[in-house]
A and B are shown apart, each in its own frame.
Chain A
């Protein structure tokens, strides 16, 4: 069976600077992997390639069977509906409640979803992230961790096969960060491939999940789950 996410010999340059250099990565359904490396290693570029925010200079990016590397602009939406995205700064709409933020992500993707269905599914998603009772709260009434949970609910409410997260715990305290990581584990268990870019060494080390290490755009280590490796890249940070 083909991996849900595949990057084959992907290179991405910005002018003369090489952000990613011949990177090969694949993720299976239900797999949780961490993407680590010093700042400027190419983590965000790799995530942006998956979501087709940028195109690779060369190589192939396949997401759930779709060729992201050669997709026309008119078909990008089709790809993005298969990739949930979580950001460090949550990116919630301040004038909408938590429930409306989640429903917004659902309804703008599919015009056939009724208000009742959107509400029902959004509420389920909020319950799944532990915020079933905060649906009517506005983002400014929620803590950072709660806002991130709403963002995760929005990312998974349409049941995408792939979830990518860029420094999702970067703005959170230690305890809250662990809560978010637990949530990612649950989402992976449900069958979604989850790729998390992070600087949080403790989480990566203790969780013993697959770890992909990028240094200067090259994938220098692909550590399988269940192993504890050295974080040599920390010396470069």
Chain B
């Protein structure tokens, strides 16, 4: 027997190249092969994670649109439209303007003539037909009164609606409680979206944890030997985190493409109409959302793997 094993001295190559090659083989190649080998047990995790990420992407885009909508609504809600009688005299209109200008709660006033109102209506979806349906101009002249505080809209409305220059049939745009109703609806939509995503996220994490458990069970002998010979913990866990990251990245990539595709299609199909309902959502925003979906998938996959291992691999 060549009894030289224990006493022999071997050269230690501490070169970065060797470490990098070993890391690549152990973490990247090893986990990729294992991922392919365990695709059957990984498929449910991949599916549920992809579904979650697509939903997250779409809910995220919807949330972004709602946020923009809220900002627009808030800005619009502090602007009171005061509609003038068609036969109001210039003096009556000037008196009303003076009244509003002197009020300290008013930030600014803009006057829109009947002709300007008609011109604006012709640029809005659906209104050109209405504008062209009659020979006369049905749109009234108006004051756009921007208030310093949204809370003062009701008080200003009460002052102007009895003025002689104001149209008695439809005096202002003020709708008591409309802004609060929009806020309540937006809040409800946000809560529902977050709850749905949380539930879906929980399911995706649990399914991924289970798929990692299956991978751990499939390789339990290898893991046991690694632990017994003294492999560092990161060496034992690394390939599983990588496997989870691969699953997450795959799910993220698929979901990112789907999210971008759906958003881009909707943007194109909706054209002007769409931008009215989803303000701020552009192709660039959709691309950013897709990238975020991919990164989320990466973290979700590796995070779920770490969670699965913490429970099943402690010595």
Check B22 against A81 for contact (C-beta < 8 Å). no
* Chain A residues with CB below 8 A from B21, complex form: 114-115
Q: Does A154 contact B (CB under 8 A)?
A: yes
Check A53 against B315 for contact (C-beta < 8 Å). yes
Q: Does A61 contact B (CB under 8 A)?
A: no
Check A93 against B228 for contact (C-beta < 8 Å). no
CA distance A94 to B107 in the complex (A): 82
CA distance A158 to B221 in the complex (A): 20
Binding-face segment, B7-15, B130-138, B260-268, B277-285:
B7-15
* Chain B residues with CB below 8 A from A187, complex form: 6
- Interface residues of B, count at CB 8 A: 36
A128 to chain B, nearest CB (A): 4
CA distance A192 to B7 in the complex (A): 10
B17 closest partner in A (C-beta): A114
CA distance A187 to B3 in the complex (A): 8
Check B4 against A104 for contact (C-beta < 8 Å). no
A124 to chain B, nearest CB (A): 6
**When the two chains form the complex, which single residue of A112, A121, A155, A192 contacts B19, counting CB atoms closer than 8 Å?**
A112
* Chain B residues with CB below 8 A from A82, complex form: 230
Q: Does B192 contact A (CB under 8 A)?
A: no
Known: A107-B22, A108-B226, A121-B10. A77 touches B232 (CB 8 A): yes
- Interface residues of A, count at CB 8 A: 50
Q: Does A135 contact B (CB under 8 A)?
A: no
B190 to chain A, nearest CB (A): 42
Check A190 against B235 for contact (C-beta < 8 Å). no
CA distance A74 to B315 in the complex (A): 10
Q: Does B151 contact A (CB under 8 A)?
A: no
**When the two chains form the complex, which single residue of B6, B18, B222, B229 contacts A80, counting CB atoms closer than 8 Å?**
B229
* Chain A residues with CB below 8 A from B23, complex form: 111
CA distance A148 to B226 in the complex (A): 18
A94 to chain B, nearest CB (A): 8
**When the two chains form the complex, which single residue of B3, B5, B11, B224 contacts A157, counting CB atoms closer than 8 Å?**
B5
Check A51 against B228 for contact (C-beta < 8 Å). yes
CA distance A115 to B23 in the complex (A): 12
**When the two chains form the complex, which single residue of B5, B221, B222, B230 contacts A109, counting CB atoms closer than 8 Å?**
B230
Q: Does B314 contact A (CB under 8 A)?
A: yes
* Chain B residues with CB below 8 A from A159, complex form: 5-6, 8
CA distance A154 to B11 in the complex (A): 19
Check B18 against A114 for contact (C-beta < 8 Å). yes
**When the two chains form the complex, which single residue of A79, A121, A127, A129 contacts B230, counting CB atoms closer than 8 Å?**
A79
Q: Does B124 contact A (CB under 8 A)?
A: no
* Chain A residues with CB below 8 A from B312, complex form: none
**Binary A-proximity of B74-110 (CB < 8 A = 1, otherwise 0):** 0000000000000000000000000000000000000
Which residues of B1-48 are within 8 A (CB) of A? 1-8, 10-15, 18-19, 21-23, 26
B15 to chain A, nearest CB (A): 8
**When the two chains form the complex, which single residue of A111, A113, A121, A191 contacts B7, counting CB atoms closer than 8 Å?**
A191
* Chain B residues with CB below 8 A from A124, complex form: 2, 4-5, 8
Known: A73-B315, A80-B230. A192 touches B225 (CB 8 A): no
**When the two chains form the complex, which single residue of A76, A93, A107, A113 contacts B221, counting CB atoms closer than 8 Å?**
A93
**When the two chains form the complex, which single residue of A83, A107, A112 contacts B14, counting CB atoms closer than 8 Å?**
A112
Chain B residues in contact with chain A, CB under 8 A? Answer: 1-8, 10-15, 18-19, 21-23, 26, 221-222, 224-233, 235-236, 314-315
Closest 5 CB pairs of A and B: A80-B230, A81-B230, A190-B6, A108-B231, A128-B5
What are 11 inter-chain pairs, A to B, with CB distance below 8 A? Answer: A53-B315, A76-B230, A81-B230, A107-B26, A109-B229, A111-B19, A111-B26, A112-B22, A117-B12, A132-B2, A191-B7
Given contacts A108-B235, A124-B2, A159-B8, 5 further A-B contacts (CB under 8 A): A81-B230, A112-B13, A113-B13, A158-B230, A186-B3
